[in-house]
Amino acid sequence: MFVILMNYVKPLAEIDANLEAHRRFLDEGYAAGYLLASGPRVPRTGGIILAHAPGVEELRDFLSKDPFNKAGVAQYEILEFTPVKSDPRLKDVLK
């Protein structure tokens, strides 16, 4: 499992110009089974994505296609972790 910390590196006007394309990209990630949750950080300095992928390289390849990445408006920090305890509501997610 992965937590992706996305940091905006350009002004919000440039983020907003790419936002719809980024959201379509996220939809593709949900459909492919990579993404579990996503949303903006508060304050709006970037975003956070909870992901499940076979490996970090496959996840990096997927993120390379993000319009935010292609436009150079965001950078990603990928944190991998192994959940050993969780709320029972997540049992289907963590199989």
Range of the domain at 78: 2-90
- Number of separate domains in the chain: 1
User: Is there a domain that residue 6 lies in?
Assistant: yes
Classify residue 70: in a domain, yes or no: yes
18 within some domain: yes
Do the domain assignments include residue 26? yes
CA–CA distances in Å: residue 1 to residues 11, 24, 40, 84, 92: 30, 22, 19, 11, 13
Question: What integer pLDDT is reported at residue 89 of this predicted model?
Answer: 85
pLDDT at 41 over 90: yes
Going by C-alpha positions, the residue among 44, 50, 51 that lies closest to residue 73 is: 44
- For residue 95, is it within any domain? no
pLDDT band (50, 70, 90) for residue 61: very high
Residue 69 belongs to domain with CATH number: 3.30.70.1060
